[in-house]
């Protein structure tokens, strides 16, 4: 009995990253074209559009904000030609100050 190996080829439309996987998980990478934001790779040759969603709220002194070209980013959106899409959301971190 032969068991087929699931081999998928992935690429990034914003940088030169490529990958090959042998399972069903979608790989992520720190995209050099998007200031190191963690973005999902897409199937090689797929016609998609990757866009960044800027935060619209006031960030003040908040720390851990994901930035691209000096702008705060809250998510990436990968849109397919059929209108479906995937998003990666960058949730802010909570922090607590402790006084002695």
Q: pLDDT digit string (tens) for 8-62?
A: 999 999 999 999 999 888 899 999 999 999 999 999 999 999 999 999 888 888 8
- The closest of 8, 50, 53, 45 to 26, measured between CA atoms, is 8
Q: pLDDT digit string (tens) for 58-85?
A: 888 887 888 889 899 999 999 998 999 9
- Within 10 angstroms of residue 76's Cβ, the number of other Cβ atoms is 23
pLDDT beyond 80 at 87: yes
- The closest of 40, 34, 38, 10 to 22, measured between CA atoms, is 10
pLDDT at 14: 92
- The closest of 7, 20, 2, 14 to 69, measured between CA atoms, is 14
46 or 95: which leads in pLDDT = 46
């Amino acid at each position: 009995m032969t068991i087929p190996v699931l081999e998928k080829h992935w690429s990034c439309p914003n940088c030169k990253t490529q990958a090959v996987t042998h399972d069903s998980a979608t790989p992520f990478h720190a995209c050099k074209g998007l200031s190191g934001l963690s973005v999902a790779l897409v199937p090689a040759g797929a016609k998609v559009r990757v866009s960044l969603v800027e935060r619209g709220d006031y960030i003040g002194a908040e720390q851990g904000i994901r930035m691209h070209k000096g702008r705060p980013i809250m998510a990436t959106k990968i849109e397919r030609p059929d209108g479906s899409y995937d998003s990666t959301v960058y949730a802010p971190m909570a922090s607590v100050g402790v006084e002695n």
